[in-house]
């Protein structure tokens, strides 16, 4: 007897089965700026995710600094490893809240593609250099990559991502021009905060900028350490650090899931439209921490800012790196004919300073060093 052929479920059926009513269903997407025929078995958000992963901007994240410019080693995070950690946390949150994981994964993978080399040091330098040209912001640059700079297809500029992806990235610019965020956008923003707070602390201890004992004086870290002691007893050294910081992520994620579920029930959220209505007020997000955890995160972030991001050791490396970026910017601004052809052509539309910034923002840390030495000599 011949067995009946197996017919795999359509992605629309999977979404109807697995996603909550407040999730953004791909079947309800507003589509793309440049219409395309549907794919036979991938949802629109699956295609968006794949377009991000296969982009040059995503690949370059592997050699862009997260925080610690100029520190050689293979332990602390790059932009790429940070992005993958954000994606992991965001998918956990999305599944716990029955959100669209394909959309969440796309937004998480794309959230930092606009970062220039040298981390926030590079962003600050480009913002200063473009002060009279509209400034520079990595979130706005990511949107620029998606819509203009990443030319992968012959029929249109950019990646032609779904409107929900573009809208989410516009929301991250926080300039008031984007609609209120979907839950999928809120989840990625929360995951980003959890990842960089925890992992910057981990990297800072590894590099000897702070000690675990100093971190344990902060209430949120102390709570994580207390949970570790209940399960494992007293740990020491590297083992203690890794387990405590792992637990710090768990504390934040578990609390965020509980708070978000409670908010969804309290507000009677039953659709993406209801999500937008609830979030369409300043400072109001459904995916948000309880006041005590939020206060603990702010205290951890103040500690990191004062003791790590503005430490003399970090600044001693940051300042000369910023000088090189500024020198290279000035060199290309005076010689736009030396830009690659695509950037030269766009200079007629957007101006030389913006096109030079687009080119330099796409560089990795090491390519910036190489190109600076080639154009201006070593030093």
82 in a structural domain = yes
Residue with tokens 């949970």: 227
Residue 379's pLDDT is what? 60
Predicted confidence band of residue 314 (pLDDT cuts 50, 70, 90): confident
Task: Say which residues have a Cβ less than 8 Å from residue 297's Cβ, sequence separation at least 6.
Answer: 193, 197, 220, 252, 289
Contact between 356 and 339 (Cβ < 8 Å): yes
313 in a structural domain = yes
Cα(8)–Cα(314) distance, rounded to whole angstroms? 53
Residue 177's pLDDT is what? 75
Arithmetic mean of pLDDT over the chain: 91
Any idea which of 2-6, 73-77, 152-156 has the lowest mean pLDDT?
Answer: 73-77
Residue 152's pLDDT is what? 85
Contact between 293 and 218 (Cβ < 8 Å): no
Q: Is the pLDDT of residue 67 over 70?
A: no
Predicted confidence band of residue 283 (pLDDT cuts 50, 70, 90): low
Q: How many domains does the chain have?
A: 1
Q: Provide, rounded to the nearest whole percent, the portion of the chain with pLDDT above 70.
A: 95
Q: Is the pLDDT of residue 315 over 70?
A: yes
| The two three-digit tokens of residue 264, written as one number | 């969804």
Residue 238's pLDDT is what? 80
84 in a structural domain = yes
28 in a structural domain = no
- For residue 288, how many other CB atoms are within 10 A of its CB? 18
φ/ψ (deg, to 5) at 125: -65, -45
Residue 191's pLDDT is what? 98
Q: Is the pLDDT of residue 153 over 70?
A: yes
Predicted confidence band of residue 75 (pLDDT cuts 50, 70, 90): low
pTM over 0.85: yes
Q: Is the pLDDT of residue 206 over 60?
A: yes
Alpha-carbon dihedral 152, 158, 164, 166, rounded to 10 degrees:
140
| The two three-digit tokens of residue 11, written as one number | 């992605």
Instruction: Report pLDDT digits (tens) over 88-147.
Output: 999 999 999 999 999 999 999 999 999 999 988 999 999 999 999 999 999 999 999 999
Q: What is the largest CA-CA distance in the chain?
A: 78
Residue 219's pLDDT is what? 95
Secondary structure class of 190 (helix, strand, coil) = helix
DSSP string, 205-238: HHTTSS-HHHHTTSHHHHHHHHHHHHHH----HH
Q: Is the pLDDT of residue 68 over 60?
A: no
What value does the mean pLDDT take over residues 338-347?
A: 94
205 in a structural domain = yes
Q: What is the domain-level CATH number for residue 251?
A: 1.10.3210.10
Cα(321)–Cα(325) distance, rounded to whole angstroms? 6
Residue with tokens 């209801």: 274
What is the residue range of 160's domain?
38-376
Residue 282's pLDDT is what? 58
58 in a structural domain = yes
What value does the mean pLDDT take over residues 30-36?
A: 95
Cα(77)–Cα(112) distance, rounded to whole angstroms? 13
32 in a structural domain = no
Cα(294)–Cα(338) distance, rounded to whole angstroms? 48
Cα(193)–Cα(252) distance, rounded to whole angstroms? 10
Cα(185)–Cα(164) distance, rounded to whole angstroms? 9
Cα(93)–Cα(116) distance, rounded to whole angstroms? 28
Residue 276's pLDDT is what? 93
């Amino acid at each position: 007897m011949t067995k009946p052929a197996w017919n795999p479920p359509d992605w629309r059926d999977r979404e109807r089965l697995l996603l909550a009513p407040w999730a953004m269903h791909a079947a309800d997407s507003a589509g793309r700026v440049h219409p395309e025929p549907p794919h036979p078995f991938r949802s629109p958000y699956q295609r968006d995710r794949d377009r991000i992963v296969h982009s040059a901007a995503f690949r370059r994240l592997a050699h862009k600094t997260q925080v610690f410019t100029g520190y050689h080693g293979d332990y602390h995070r790059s932009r790429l490893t940070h992005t993958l950690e954000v994606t992991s946390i965001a998918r956990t949150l999305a599944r716990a809240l029955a959100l669209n994981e394909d959309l969440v994964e796309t937004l998480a993978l794309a959230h930092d593609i606009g970062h220039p080399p040298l981390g926030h040091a590079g962003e600050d330098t480009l913002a200063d250099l473009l002060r009279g040209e509209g400034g520079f912001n990595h979130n706005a640059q990511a949107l620029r990559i998606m819509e203009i700079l990443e030319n992968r297809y012959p029929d249109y500029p950019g990646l032609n991502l779904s409107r929900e992806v573009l809208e989410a990235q516009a929301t991250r610019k926080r300039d008031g021009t984007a609609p209120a965020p979907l839950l999928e956008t809120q989840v990625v923003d929360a995951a980003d905060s959890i990842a960089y707070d925890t992992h910057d602390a981990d990297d800072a201890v590894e590099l000897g900028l702070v000690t675990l004992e100093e971190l344990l004086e902060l209430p949120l870290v102390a709570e994580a350490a207390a949970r570790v002691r209940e399960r494992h007893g007293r740990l020491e050294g590297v083992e203690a650090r890794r387990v405590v910081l792992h637990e710090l992520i768990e504390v934040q994620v578990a609390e965020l899931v509980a708070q978000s579920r409670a908010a969804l029930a309290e507000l009677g959220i039953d659709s993406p439209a209801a999500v937008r209505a609830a979030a369409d007020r300043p400072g109001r997000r459904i995916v948000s921490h309880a006041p005590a955890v939020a206060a603990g995160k702010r205290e951890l972030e103040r500690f990191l800012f004062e003791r790590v991001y503005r430490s003399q050791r970090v600044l001693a490396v940051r300042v000369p790196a910023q000088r090189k970026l500024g020198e290279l910017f000035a060199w290309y601004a005076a010689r736009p004919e030396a830009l690659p052809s695509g950037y030269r052509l766009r200079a007629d539309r957007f101006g030389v300073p913006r096109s030079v910034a687009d080119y330099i923002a796409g560089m990795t840390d090491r390519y910036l060093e190489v190109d600076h030495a080639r154009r201006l000599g070593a030093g």
